[in-house]
Amino acid sequence: MRDDVRDLFCGLLNGLESKTALLNSLLVKEKALSELIKSSNDEDDEILNIINSAAALIDEINAADYSISQIRDEIIRKYRFDFNKILNKNFKTENTEIINYRNSVLLHEDLMNEIISYKKQNNLKMEAYQQDLQVQISELERMSKIKIIYPKDLRSY
């Protein structure tokens, strides 16, 4: 591989490494959120903090994706490199940078699938929690409509 292409691939791999770290952080947040929801210890502030920090991580991941795509586009434009063929199951090469790129992309797919799974589970748990809260609220509203009649003191007549 030529040095100029290798330099671009090294930049691409650095971007992928930072994205991997961000995805791992997001996965940790989703796992922590899952545990908090399971424990249901009225830790709504902590749940909100995790959700907000996860949103910030997603913004960082989007920025990393943008940087990665710029480098990919440059490689495609300058060298007409086909990134799609790298992801084929029967793709073989002895070039370390290309193998590392492939492994990083496949790792990202695995991490994303795991994050999506946790997000779905967390959403379902939170929806169930919301429905439970709505039932409790309606019960409290019904209870507040009950009129309490105090017995009259018969001695006061």
**pLDDT tens-digit readout, 73-89:** 999 998 888 888 888 88
- Please report, rounded to a whole number, the percentage of residues in the chain having pLDDT higher than 70: 94
46: pLDDT confidence band, cut at 50, 70 and 90?
confident
Handedness of CA 87, 80, 23, 10 (dihedral sign): positive
94: pLDDT confidence band, cut at 50, 70 and 90?
confident
Q: What domains are there in the chain, each with its CATH number?
A: 3-146 (1.20.58)
Helix locations, the chain, DSSP H: 3-39, 44-79, 83-86, 96-144
Instruction: Return d(Cα 141, Cα 122) in angstroms, integer.
Output: 28
Instruction: Return d(Cα 116, Cα 136) in angstroms, integer.
Output: 30
First to last CA, the chain: 107
Are 73 and 11 in contact by the 8 Å Cβ rule? The answer is: no
The pLDDT value recorded for residue 32 is: 92
70: pLDDT confidence band, cut at 50, 70 and 90?
very high
The pLDDT value recorded for residue 106 is: 93
Could you tell me the pTM of the whole model?
A: 0.78
Residue-wise pLDDT tens digits, 103-156: 999 999 999 999 999 999 999 988 988 898 899 999 998 888 887 777 777 665
Copy the structure tokens of residue 147: 């009129």
Q: What is the mean pLDDT of residues 43-48?
A: 81
